[in-house]
């Protein structure tokens, strides 16, 4: 699992549909997910701390969880099928020592994660299909540095390193 942060909401220039964009910690990989307008509004309201006079649906969900003594612990975007993403909201009850998983649309899960201040994770299968590289220049530079590094390694370097580590453990 890879932890992601909400970078923001963008608009698809062809369709005008909102897209929530998640970034990894280093801002090198992004996951764009097309969402509905209402969900985009809920996410933007939280990002920009726009208050509401009455509880919004995602606030209501968190209030129900709190009142039932479940704590929202994380959100996982855990599958993708034909450009449809699937996610789960995980909640834990200390008294019952029980974790539950609730099926959710990613947009709702993200809106709830922002309100509950919990991490958002994506699975390996989602990474394989949905991630796009944001900083290809840095990726290429690191790949070149690694390639140059391994060209100069000799088997005797490993022997020296192992011997040094063994001696420091004694």
pLDDT in tens, the chain (170 residues): 999 999 989 888 888 889 999 999 888 888 899 999 899 999 999 999 888 888 889 999 999 999 999 999 999 999 998 889 999 999 999 999 999 999 999 999 999 999 999 999 999 888 888 777 665 565 566 556 656 655 665 566 556 555 655 565 55
- What whole-number distance in Å separates Cα of residue 69 and Cα of residue 132? 38
Task: Write down the pLDDT at residue 143.
Answer: 56
Report CA torsion sign: 76, 77, 81, 84.
positive
- What whole-number distance in Å separates Cα of residue 154 and Cα of residue 138? 27
Dihedral angle computed from the Cα positions of residues 51, 56, 58 and 61, in that order, rounded to the nearest 10 degrees? 120
Cβ-in-10-Å burial (0-12, 13-18, 19+) of 123 comes to middle
Residues carrying CATH 3.10.690.10, the chain? 2-134
* Class of the CATH-defined domain 2-134: alpha beta
Task: Write down the pLDDT at residue 85.
Answer: 94
Task: Write down the pLDDT at residue 90.
Answer: 98
């Amino acid at each position: 699992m890879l932890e992601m942060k909400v970078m923001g909401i963008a608009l698809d220039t062809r369709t005008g549909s909102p897209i929530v964009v998640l970034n990894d910690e280093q801002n090198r990989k992004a996951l764009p997910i097309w969402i509905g307008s209402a969900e985009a509004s809920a996410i933007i309201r939280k990002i920009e701390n726009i208050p509401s006079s009455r509880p919004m649906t995602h606030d209501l969900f968190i209030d129900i969880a709190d009142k039932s003594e479940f704590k929202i612990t994380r959100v996982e975007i855990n599958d993708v099928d034909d450009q449809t993403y699937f996610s789960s909201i995980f909640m834990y009850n200390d008294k019952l020592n029980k974790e539950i998983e609730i099926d959710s649309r990613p947009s709702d899960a993200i809106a709830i994660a922002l309100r509950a201040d919990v991490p958002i994770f994506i699975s390996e299968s989602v990474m394989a299909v949905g991630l796009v590289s944001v900083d290809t220049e840095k990726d290429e530079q690191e790949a070149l540095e690694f390639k140059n590094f391994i060209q100069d390694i000799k088997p005797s370097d490993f022997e020296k390193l192992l011997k040094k580590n063994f001696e420091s453990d004694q």
